[in-house]
Structure 1
């Protein structure tokens, strides 16, 4: 049996999922799962890369323990965050997390060198305060010595690939999220890089999903007998998730539903006009140079944050602790509370910046209701109903914008990722948009990661064949509003 391994790391957890092809069907097996908790370091919220690296190795040992060593493996994570590497092959910067507040004022600083309309026209990437371009601008302001010492920029999955193989490769889909890649030439935009005053030397050649990074030999890492090729999937998790959407036709909207909800479609060419810019849609690079034309919507982050607060759990280690919880809430219980308050009508704009990284998501929702003259949620059920219904309304608004921008009438919505299991949100989405909603597969990101490996290994001839296999391999459920 030929196995392949997807190491899929999200903002709150990661997982090792083995995949193989059996009689034309894709078979998945979760081998290892681990938490991803940020740490407070040098005054910033950072990813704990050492802990993540140890978790990656522990998952590889778990594969070895069940005698299922893969022939290839690939890593995907969230986008925009990075590590700067010095000439000696060691990091010269921390892996600061995108929700950290260091980028305050960075957009305004960057626009003095390059107005956003010009940046958007060149890169097609929406304005988000956490874009890599703005993170690097913030780094220039706070730690110019780190940029001076850097010889290479590696996005988070690229850094782990380097630890596995000793080779530094930049991958196209993730690079496009930086707002430093030209949407038309599909390479680093030297005009943008120069305008922002960034050193060109740190940006390496861009490689497509399917490229070989190198060989991992586990003896030196305590995974004796583990020996396989490391490949590039679409290392941006949304890029992988979009591969796994089993759309029925060309008029389907995709939602990759997790901490973020990424709603959009695949296009053959970027859309970088003024109307697209004002609607804040983005053109991220996809597999084989497709364009993922989508909108970032705050997503399950709001629900996750409220649950953490109710349960007395902090998102970042060593940060201010929340009050002790009187009980522990499950997601199913929160969903049930929301269903019980279906007549609560207050709504928030889920794309408002106040929900990006508030001290308290509960307080942020209540404050938005106060400022907009609406009833303030008083119970857990009212709070959850407000968030659930607001997310669905955000999806419906984005679909309308998408239709206006592309001139297409969309006929269905396909939801992949962990959020595809959220029955109430899916029902509200179907009801609010008036479109058929199809949920699944749940492991969309890991599956897309594996698809790139399957194709590279010759298990499927092309993307179309792999997508056809998804429809026969997994139970895709139509949602009843």
Structure 2
């Protein structure tokens, strides 16, 4: 009887990607990274694109590295960020490089679309947070600019589905990734035809929906030959990276909120049914697909994107900081000296993030960060305070009392930010696993081959495999005072800030 299983996970983020080889044995998960590579946005004639074929080559490189380990791989799973997609031609070829969600071609597009179908009607049909880069508005923008790829398209595939298509030749649309598009009805779990007709397009461009844990197909003969691998099934994991990450929350009850911390911070709760009402519409919360019939009710918050862009600027001058150095630098700077709204439109994709932060602070009558430590502290303090604001709104809508916040993903390794978040929100913060997305990917592969089934069993195995750290609230008075000031800044009431931590 087989006692150990090996899984290949391809985890693709908006700034980098990696492949991992995992082993499940004795109800525990272990894994190691095989390859890591940058995922760069390419600017061509003023348009921002992803290089899908470079990503496919990186995927095959990862498979070759896995084969070199001499182990039989039981399954393959792919997760990526949401909303972006490729167009397929009638011969099955990808017609163009996918546009990047940070491309400004969608600026102002939602407002134009709402002239056709009102904003509230769009939200009621989808339950999705209105963000200009949602797939719905990307398609509307592409139609408006007479995209030759869209005009010739006979099909559309979201990013993880496009990569699985290149591996298997099978065209599917995984549910969690489709749910990010604002094209899907979360109640019926089908695409909403009227939203396509308003563009106008046909919903027949979309592929059949498959649920997380379903088998997409086996590797094609050409892939097996090129990578030196046998017939391995490709599983539809939770293709949206946040969907995979939430699978790996090591909780033993339902009274929690999660914060998936990476380039984006996504804060939410897990519920059975979508929450779509006047309040969720007013607060612009989103209902995205989860695994095993769950809904991820959440809000997108700009996360480490702010810091990543600052780091790029500093690296261009020859200064490279490790993650540990960044945290240590932040701890040397005065707290609450400068605060920003991480979700302000000026931080979406500026030419210079440091200058955008300076400009925001000047506009809001605050001290302007000068040193790298001050920029880092400004970002961390602002994120922790924004988390409180979102969590307060989330609690208003949650059908249960939120007792703790699970921070998962790469940002969970930032102990200073974890402690700041606990201080800010006033409830315990449980950090880890930092590799939540990869673990969730692996566990849904395990579900796909019948190794596990129930979500509670999956999370029990995660708890067997990781040791989270708990942070309890401290300095609550200072953080409450800072939150009051932060709220004034967001409400455009600018006054100098003199709180010290």
TM-score (norm 2): 0.91
Show the counterpart of 1:372. 364
RMSD: 1.5
Cα shift at 1:2:
2.3
CA pair 14-194 structure 1, distance change in 2 beyond 3 A: same
Cα shift at 1:406:
2.2
Cα shift at 1:92:
2.1
Distance, in Å, in 1 between the alignment partners of 2:60 and 2:309 is 29
SS of 1:222's equivalent in the other structure is helix
Contact map agreement 1:426 1:437 (CA 8 A) in 2: yes
Q: Are 1:172 and 2:164 an aligned pair?
A: no
Show the counterpart of 2:452. 460
SS of 1:184's equivalent in the other structure is coil
Distance, in Å, in 1 between the alignment partners of 2:252 and 2:259 is 14
Distance, in Å, in 2 between the alignment partners of 1:241 and 1:26 is 15
SS of 2:227's equivalent in the other structure is coil
Q: Are 1:61 and 2:64 an aligned pair?
A: yes
Q: Are 1:273 and 2:272 an aligned pair?
A: no
Contact map agreement 2:82 2:180 (CA 8 A) in 1: yes
Q: Are 1:261 and 2:265 an aligned pair?
A: yes
Show the counterpart of 1:337. 329
Deviations 1:273-329 (A, max 9, x none): 1211121110001112211000101011111111111111xxxxxxxxxxxx14222
Show the counterpart of 1:353. 345
Identify the range of structure 1 (165-174 vs 195-204) with the bigger mean alpha-carbon deviation: 195-204
Unaligned runs of 5+ in 2: 475-501
Unaligned runs of 5+ in 1: 313-324
Cα shift at 1:344:
4.2
SS of 1:475's equivalent in the other structure is coil
1:118-267 map, 5 Å = 118-217=121-220, 219-220=222-223, 222-267=226-271
Distance, in Å, in 1 between the alignment partners of 2:66 and 2:146 is 40
Give structure 1 regions of 4+ aligned residues with deviation exceeding 4 angstroms. 217-221
Q: Are 1:116 and 2:119 an aligned pair?
A: yes
Distance, in Å, in 1 between the alignment partners of 2:173 and 2:340 is 38
Contact map agreement 1:19 1:450 (CA 8 A) in 2: yes
Q: Are 1:283 and 2:275 an aligned pair?
A: no
TM-score (norm 1): 0.94
Q: Structure 2 residue aligned with 1:51, among 44, 54, 67?
A: 54
Cα shift at 1:219:
4.9
Distance, in Å, in 2 between the alignment partners of 1:212 and 1:42 is 39
Deviations 1:225-280 (A, max 9, x none): 34311110010111111111112422111011111000000111111112111211
Contact map agreement 1:430 1:437 (CA 8 A) in 2: yes
Contact map agreement 1:217 1:228 (CA 8 A) in 2: no
Cα shift at 1:42:
4.5
Q: Are 1:5 and 2:8 an aligned pair?
A: yes
